[in-house]
Amino acid sequence: MKIFCDESGYTGADLLERAQPYFVYSGIKLDDKATGEIKNYIYSNYNIQNSEIKGKLIVNNQKGREVISHIFKRYGKFARIVFHDKKYALAAKIIEYGIEPYLTSSEIFYK
């Protein structure tokens, strides 16, 4: 059994980066047989030049998107994806670190 994880959209503390307003984290749990099937399918249906399969190289053309679609249809039930709007994350941080400490302290919030 193997677990694979990856992220996209990480911009560090810059949660207002206009070019990447979202953060995505994904993971998938597969057994060794499924992992081998996926690798063989990709290598036999798509021209991979090096040993590491990079999604950004595959998604930029129709053939690559067809390969990804096939893999998701077959193995997507084993995947989990978390999608965050960074503006929401920023608002949550403001509440958690800027407002909540005052609400839980004995001080009056509006002073």
How far is it, in rounded angstroms, from Cα 76 to Cα 50? 25
Residue-level pLDDT at 50: 67
30-83 residue pLDDT tens: 999 999 999 888 888 777 666 777 777 788 888 888 888 999 999 999 999 999
Residue with token string 């009056």? 108
- The dihedral over CA atoms of 90, 91, 93, 99, expressed in degrees to the nearest 10, equals 150
Q: Nearest-CA neighbor of 46 among 60, 33, 34?
A: 60
Instruction: Strands of 31-94 (E only): list them.
Output: 79-85
Residue-level pLDDT at 99: 87
Segment 24-32 shows an average pLDDT of 95
